[in-house]
Amino acid sequence: MKKVVLYDTTLRDGSQAEGVSFSLADKLRIAGRLDRLGIHYIEGGWPGSNPKDMAFFREIRKKKLSRARVVAFGSTRKSGCNAENDPNIDGLLKARTGSIAVFGKSWILHVKEVLRRLPEENLRMIFDSVAYLRSKGRELIYDAEHFFDGFKDDSEYALSTLEQAVRAGAGFLVLCDTNGGALPEEIAEITALIKNRFQIPVGIHAHNDGGLGTANSLAAVRAGAELVQGTINGYGERCGNADLCSIIPNLKLKMGVNCINLTRLKQLETVSRFVDELANLRSNTRAPFVGLSAFSHKGGIHVDAVRKNPRTYEHIDPALVGNRRRILVSELSGKSNVILKAVEFGVDLAKDTPETRRILSDLKRLGDEGYEFEGADASFQILIQKALNKHRSFFELEGFRVIVEKDKAGRSHSEATIKVKVKNTSEHTAAEGNGPVHALDNALRKALQPFYPSIGKVRLADFKVRVLDASAGTAARVRVLIESKDQEDIWGTVGVSENIIEASWQALVDSVDYKLFMDTREKPKPARSRRSSGRN
């Protein structure tokens, strides 16, 4: 079985993505997760560029990684100085990593227009840098920047840059599609040529500007590449780097390449989410393999087929990458959707029963009114409970009032007053919030907490409003999706009304009912994604 080395550059190249900034603590935590996932090389940053990256290399030495080698990244020496006197080279050595990645210019355009040096000087810069760092006992990974563009422009010069790196002692030649514009057939042809010309292992570093980062990486492996660079979730400049969350399962499951064992592969979805969380970004629900929608089924025909045999509409078992199948419900749903969705909630329904037909009828009617349950599993579960006459109301609303004020200084204030009856006791209270919905949520939970203490652990995590009929202007019906969370779970609920406060109230009530229902269930919770509301 062919073996491929996995090289992650999330902490360096990935952090250059728009909107991504990892703290030192974030970088250390991500490195630990990548190590447990089974990544072979973790590129920690550019120690010569900023104090945080140097601090990372200092702190990571105190951690015991099980298998990953940490890599310091930097450029070749500057023109006009010796490698031993170059601050960037000195920073690479001070990082005290066993492996170092150095990039150099492969494209004559960059040599002339960016470096503005003679081609021969660039060759000396590559040789001197690699040779000096090798003399210090480091493993050298040479990144040939813009190699594919350089090869297509002037193949003889591009090859000469690789020859200098090999002659100086590089252990890997990594061919970079830095602009992300190459096609798979070009990648395969050029990689095969380099593989046949040089005796050291060849790697691939692809970007996704043409939407081909994964395809180009796999094409390079087919042509002989033995190292693949990429980032978790495809973070990177512009359109991003090649996505390891797609590359790894394709290599392992589709191409039979030995890059990670199956037990570690099951961590992939959680690692993807973990990195998104630390980057403070919403996960891509449609990401292959690890996205929330990757194994989701909505159309009735699809769902019925999956119920009979999952292979009909799933290219792999989602559990192999730590993901799961999701059955979506909407006005397009058939009975199979309802049955399988009910199973997720621990409810056993037969296909041709009055209860199933009632649920399906309610679903289609509510869908026509604007309700959407794809991101509101909790509301759909309540709908099922009502159809089965098993729903329990935990409180009764006697009334609420929401006030929004704006003072002369331009500051806004929101306050909600609410009166509810719980267990034959009336509770009347008020609370403030950042806005009217937040105030109403705070007031409701404040009123209920003396009777249901677990409500104090619930907080509003997300709030979305969708105008359903823009032509109606301010009288348009709106759909509100609310995401709530406690220490263990995240759930979504939905409300629809011409009044945004009323729509929000519907979603809030479902949120509270779901939480209290789950608290009082005798059966254990069914396996559910902690992103049931479509957190993205």
* Percent of the chain with pLDDT strictly greater than 70: 93
**In the prediction, which pLDDT does 527 show?**
41
Helix or strand run (H / E) with residue 166: helix 155-168
Q: Is the pLDDT reported for residue 229 higher than 70?
A: yes
**In the prediction, which pLDDT does 373 show?**
83
Ranking 1-15, 291-305, 360-374, 423-437 by mean pLDDT, the lowest is 360-374
**In the prediction, which pLDDT does 335 show?**
65
Superfamily of domain 5-260: Aldolase class I (3.20.20.70)
Ranking 233-237, 361-365, 429-433, 491-495 by mean pLDDT, the lowest is 361-365
Selected residue with higher pLDDT from 459 and 251: 251
Q: List every span in the chain annotated with CATH 3.30.160.340.
A: 356-390+460-536
Q: pLDDT tier at 222 (50, 70, 90 boundaries)?
A: very high
Q: What's the rounded mean pLDDT across residues 171-194?
A: 98
**In the prediction, which pLDDT does 530 show?**
40
**In the prediction, which pLDDT does 349 show?**
74
Residues 6 or more apart in contact with residue 367 via CB below 8 angstroms? 330, 331, 373
Selected residue with higher pLDDT from 509 and 49: 509
Q: List every span in the chain annotated with CATH 3.20.20.70.
A: 5-260
Q: How far apart are CA 210 and CA 180, in angstroms?
A: 6
In this structure, whether the domain defined by 356-390+460-536 belongs to CATH 1.10.260.40 is answered with no
Q: Is the pLDDT reported for residue 51 higher than 90?
A: yes
**In the prediction, which pLDDT does 312 show?**
96
pLDDT digits (tens, 9 = 90+) for 117-126: 999 999 999 9
In the block, which residue shows the tokens 């890059």? Answer: 259
Selected residue with higher pLDDT from 457 and 298: 457
Q: How far apart are CA 14 and CA 241, in angstroms?
A: 7
pLDDT digits (tens, 9 = 90+) for 267-296: 999 999 999 989 988 889 999 999 989 999
Torsion of CA 317, 320, 323, 328, to 10 degrees: 0
Parallel, antiparallel, or unpaired for β 99-105 and 41-45? unpaired
What is the radius of gyration, based on Cα positions, of the chain?
28
**In the prediction, which pLDDT does 471 show?**
67
> What CATH number has the domain spanning 395-451?
3.30.160
Give the single-character DSSP code of 15. G
Q: Is the pLDDT reported for residue 92 higher than 90?
A: yes
Query: Coil, strand, or helix at residue 153?
Result: helix
Query: What angle do helix axes 24-37 and 51-60 make, rounded to 10 degrees?
Result: 50
Nearest to 455 by CA among 480, 479, 420, 481: 420
Q: pLDDT tier at 332 (50, 70, 90 boundaries)?
A: low
**In the prediction, which pLDDT does 363 show?**
80
Q: Is the pLDDT reported for residue 14 higher than 90?
A: yes
Parallel, antiparallel, or unpaired for β 478-485 and 459-467? antiparallel
Q: Is the pLDDT reported for residue 388 higher than 90?
A: no
**In the prediction, which pLDDT does 98 show?**
97
Contact 244, 205 (CB under 8 A): no
* Percent of the chain with pLDDT strictly greater than 90: 71
Ranking 56-70, 157-171, 177-191, 337-351 by mean pLDDT, the lowest is 337-351
In the block, which residue shows the tokens 């049955």? Answer: 339
